[in-house]
Structure 1
Amino acid sequence: MAASTGRTARPGRAPGPGRAKKDAVAAARRPEVRLPPLVPYGGEGLEPDGDYDGVRFEGVDLAEASGPGARFMDCALEGCSLDRTELVRARFIDSVLTGVRGVGTDLAEASLRDVEVVDARLGGVQLHGAVLERVVVRGGKIDYLNLREARLKDVVFEGCVLSEPDFGGAHLVRVEFRDCVLKRADFSAARMESVDLRAVAELDIARGVDRLAGAVISPAQLMELAPAFAAQIGVRVEG
């Protein structure tokens, strides 16, 4: 019988499940939208503080419509025109926006919760001060997206192109960028917690590289961003 050494294992020497969980990036919780049978929209334009529940807007021209404070619950917007549509402080809950298009859509201070945005073609969308929770933006292209001072929690940008998005002063918690293109992104004064940039197809940060604390990037992205990091801390790199 082998003699006992009398030694006890030291706790915390090997990485256990607890440490693995601590080091892992918290994944965003995706929306689970299950729309009920919908009623086709039969009106014209939008109403301020309007209440739309279980409505399908299919191919509706909402250009220059004004519906500040409107509430959309269990709704589907499909192929709608949103040129200069005013939806300040609007609320979208358990809804799907598919193939919407437009320039200058005003969603300032809007609230999006459990929402899917699919194949959108938008430009100059105003979402400053907005609150996005459990939102997926999949496919499509959005130019000059204004998310300044917005709050994003459990948001996924997937397979889309974001050209010159502005996240200045925004608070991002559990936000994922997957197979998407970020061109000339502005993260000035942004705050990040569990932001996953590793799967970005193209990462181009114009401003705010110093605000990436709380984000996770890949080794390859680190090499690409090295000149920007060096410039931020005043390091000159010469051959």
Structure 2
Amino acid sequence: MVRNGRQQSVKAARRPELRLPDLTAWEGPELEPDGDYDGLEFADLDLAGQEGVGARFMDCAVRRCALDEAGLAKARILDSVLEGVRGVGTDLSGASLRDVELVDARLGGVQLHGAGLERVVVRGGKIDYLNLRKARLRDVVFEGCVLVEPDFGGAVLERVEFRDCALRGVDFSGVRMADVDLREAVVLEIARGVDALAGAVISPAQLFDLAPALASQLGVRVVP
């Protein structure tokens, strides 16, 4: 496969193909633990602090909602769109996201440790202190977004792409990678885990920028 005139050397991520049905506006007072939400639209709502632990969202749209401290651990979000959501401390630990688009989010301290992400696109927006420790990411694309100090420690990344996005202070400690494409990241600042890049593809310019960290990892002194 040829991309931009060069031979593709990494398997491309498979993107979600979402076709939402006609949605019904959600009118419930609050989310419920283990709740079942199918074909619903959550729009312009304050869901801060609500508890939806273990809930299932199928063919849903969540638009412009506040998710501060929302408890969504072990939730299942399937074939859904989250657009313009915002909040600090949203708990999605152990959650499962499959065939999901997260668009123009403004989030901080999101807990996704131990989560499973498959065929997920994160497009636009900014996420600070994203916790993906020990998560499993397969066919995930980060596109046109800003990630500040994301933590991928101990995670498994397979067919993950970073396109036109900024990775600032990323932690890749103990990560296992296969077909991870970092070439089109506009900023690649690796705070920890440069030794875990086996299985990733980077550009020549990125290699030059990472050379001091790589030399330090290998115990090589560069003396003029």
Tell me the TM-score normalized by structure 2: 0.96
Counterpart residue number, 2:155: 170
Q: Does 1:64 align with 2:31?
A: no
Counterpart residue number, 2:136: 151
* SS, match of residue 235 in structure 1: coil
Q: Distance in 2 between matches of 1:44 and 1:138?
A: 30
Q: Does 1:195 align with 2:168?
A: no
More strand by share: 2
Counterpart residue number, 2:81: 96
Q: Does 1:26 align with 2:11?
A: yes
Q: Distance in 2 between matches of 1:231 and 1:223?
A: 14
Gaps of 5+ in 2: none
Q: CA deviation at 1:23?
A: 6.9
User: Which of 213, 216, 219 matches 2:201?
Assistant: 216
Q: Which amino acid aligns with 2:145?
A: C
Kindly name which structure, 1 or 2, has the bigger radius of gyration based on alpha carbons. 1
Counterpart residue number, 2:109: 124
User: Which of 130, 134, 141 matches 2:126?
Assistant: 141
Q: Which amino acid aligns with 1:61?
A: D
Show CA shifts across 1:185-215 (max 9, x none): 0000000000000000000000000000000
Percent identity reads 71
Q: Distance in 2 between matches of 1:120 and 1:23?
A: 30
Q: CA deviation at 1:161?
A: 0.1
Counterpart residue number, 2:60: 75
Q: Distance in 1 between matches of 2:71 and 2:22?
A: 27
Q: Does 1:110 align with 2:91?
A: no
Kindly report the root-mean-square deviation, in angstroms, between the aligned alpha carbons of the 2 structures.
Answer: 1.1
Structure 1 runs (4+) greater than 4 angstroms displaced: none
Tell me the TM-score normalized by structure 1: 0.90
Gaps of 5+ in 1: 1-16
Q: Which amino acid aligns with 2:27?
A: G
Q: Which amino acid aligns with 1:88?
A: A
Q: CA deviation at 1:24?
A: 2.3
Q: Which amino acid aligns with 1:167?
A: F
User: Which of 44, 59, 68 matches 2:29?
Assistant: 44
Q: Which amino acid aligns with 1:223?
A: F
